[in-house]
Amino acid sequence: MPTALVTGSARGIGRALALALAADGFDIAIHYRSSRQDAETVAAEASRQGVRSTAFQADVTHPRQAHRLIEEVHRHFGRLDALVNNVGNYHLGPLAETTVSTWHEMFASNLHSTFYTCQHAVPLMRAQGGGRIINIGYSGAEILKARPAITAYAIAKTGVILYSKALAKSEAGNGITVNVISPGVMENSVTKPIQEIPMGRPGRLLELTAAARYLLSPEAGYLTGITIEVAGGWNL
């Protein structure tokens, strides 16, 4: 069976992604930083779908731990066909009150962690003849618009998109696709400005996982370097 690693998959979007891919027949590596019990519960749920699933601990904001995570997953399952970078903390607050530690945390969790895991996963994917990478962005991150309440987060997510495009171009000849899924206001979002969404409702996790399932399907093998916004028309 193909193997997928979903970072930050003990809860929320990551959990939904992991279980959706398990339903599609992927052996699943569940990643967590501190939520061990939740991660093991998700791994057990995934296993009930007839696939192998194991929980792995790492703080992927540290390059050595991110490297260790990729190595452990590859050694355990024998291959790594898909990497979904879902880790990414969120900060909402006045720009003037943003601390240096919060600023660095937004970049470390959203952008740097994505770089660290990809840098170590790509050589393994090359060696096995290809692979798929999905990085989670943010709706509107491609628009250069002032977002004072989430400045650090928004900049980091724009960086994720630019990095993903560069990696997609670099690895296209090696059978590795790199794409971005950018959620808007989802059912589990911290804030829900429904009045700003043309569809008038938050997105369902099922709608977001559908995009990931497509990008990891055989039919999406010619898609790389794109961003799919699951946002109900938000930011148009």
Q: How far is CA 159 from CA 98, 107, 154, 229, in A?
A: 19, 9, 9, 16
Catalytic center residues: 153
Distance (Å, rounded) from C-alpha 203 to C-alpha 100?
32
Chain segment 126-178, per-residue pLDDT in tens: 999 999 999 999 998 999 899 999 999 999 999 999 999 999 999 999 999 99
pTM of the model: 0.96
For residue 69, the domain's CATH number is: 3.40.50.720
Q: Is residue 145 part of a domain?
A: yes
Residue 190 pLDDT > 90, yes or no?
A: no
Closest CA to 212 of 11, 1, 10, 26: 26
Per the structure, the count of domains in the chain is: 1
Residue 113 identity? S
Q: Exposed (0-12), middle (13-18) or buried (19+): which is 164, by Cβ within 10 Å?
A: buried
Chain segment 35-90, per-residue pLDDT in tens: 999 999 999 999 999 999 999 999 999 999 999 999 999 999 999 999 999 999 99
Residue 221 pLDDT > 90, yes or no?
A: yes
- Output b/e per residue, 7-41; b: 16+ Cβ within 10 A: bbbbebbbbbbbbbbbeeebbbbbbbbebeebbbb
Q: What average pLDDT does the segment 16-43 reach?
A: 97
Q: Exposed (0-12), middle (13-18) or buried (19+): which is 42, by Cβ within 10 Å?
A: buried
DSSP string, 151-166: HHHHHHHHHHHHHHHH
Q: Is residue 236 part of a domain?
A: no
**The sheet that has 131-136: what strands, in order across it?**
53-57, 27-32, 3-6, 82-85, 131-136, 176-183, 227-230
Using only C-alpha atoms, what is the Rg of the chain? 17
Identify the domain containing residue 53 by its residue range: 3-230
Chain segment 79-118, per-residue pLDDT in tens: 999 999 999 999 999 999 999 999 999 999 999 999 999 9
Residue 195 pLDDT > 90, yes or no?
A: yes
Q: Is residue 17 part of a domain?
A: yes
Distance (Å, rounded) from C-alpha 109 to C-alpha 35?
16
Distance (Å, rounded) from C-alpha 29 to C-alpha 42?
10
> Residue 119: helix, strand or coil by DSSP?
helix
Q: Is residue 186 part of a domain?
A: yes
Distance (Å, rounded) from C-alpha 155 to C-alpha 161?
10
User: What is the predicted pLDDT for the residue at 189?
Assistant: 86
User: What is the predicted pLDDT for the residue at 106?
Assistant: 97
Q: What average pLDDT does the segment 200-225 reach?
A: 97
User: What is the predicted pLDDT for the residue at 218?
Assistant: 95
At 26, the pLDDT band (50, 70, 90 cuts) reads very high
**Residue-averaged pLDDT of the chain:** 96
Distance (Å, rounded) from C-alpha 161 to C-alpha 177?
14
